[in-house]
Copies of this chain bind each other. A is one copy, B any other.
């Protein structure tokens, strides 16, 4: 036994395409019909890979989490602790907000608005992944010079403010198409990190 090979491949192709669609219209805006059509699959053929729409949505969300880990977290953690690592992480984070090639935008930002009032497995997964990301950010912030002397939750405050910058960046870049959005974001980040270098 142990039969199966093609299935996994098309499943990956489905999730990949679905991720594109979800970034543009949201996880809730995912529609099986058009998705199948764009992959030249029958709707039922596609559906058979996931036993429900929610399972597909979860697969898409998990794929985004994994890509985020590979593209943002891992490369940054290879750098020396301190401001260098933090700046690399934030820079990659802002890149992600613009979108990977052919994928414009950030699934997490879109989904956070979709699910903050919709309880369920998707919301739970989303909240968990975001909290995990903020934890990672806080650990990186803990290596900043001020972190040792400041109040215990100083790192959390830094994370809060960085989250704000990333969200403002996304809005200015995508909604307003402001060409100077990146410059504004980088200046804001500098202010936050400079503040973390002088003693409390």
Chain B nearest CB from A31 CB (Å) reads 13
In angstroms, Cα B172 to Cα A167, docked, is: 12
Q: Is the CB of A112 within 8 A of B175?
A: yes
Task: Please tell me if A113 contacts chain B, counting CB pairs below 8 Å.
Answer: yes
Task: Please tell me if A109 contacts chain B, counting CB pairs below 8 Å.
Answer: yes
**Chain A, 1-59, CB within 8 A of any chain B CB:** 24-26, 28-29
Q: Is the CB of A160 within 8 A of B184?
A: yes
Task: Please tell me if A117 contacts chain B, counting CB pairs below 8 Å.
Answer: yes
Task: Please tell me if A127 contacts chain B, counting CB pairs below 8 Å.
Answer: yes
Q: Which of B104, B157, B164 contacts A164 (CB 8 A)?
A: B164
How many copies altogether? 2
Chain A residue total in the interface (Cβ 8 A): 42
Which A positions have Cβ atoms within 8 angstroms of B?
24-26, 28-29, 104-105, 109-110, 112-118, 126-127, 130-131, 156-157, 160-161, 163-169, 171-172, 174-176, 184-185, 187-188, 191, 195
User: 29 interchain pairs (CB within 8 A)?
Assistant: A24-B117, A25-B118, A26-B114, A104-B117, A109-B113, A112-B171, A113-B113, A113-B114, A115-B175, A116-B171, A117-B174, A126-B175, A127-B175, A130-B175, A130-B176, A160-B168, A160-B172, A160-B185, A160-B188, A161-B164, A163-B168, A163-B171, A164-B164, A164-B165, A164-B166, A164-B167, A164-B188, A167-B168, A191-B195
Nearest 3 CB-CB pairings of A with B: A164-B164, A164-B168, A167-B167
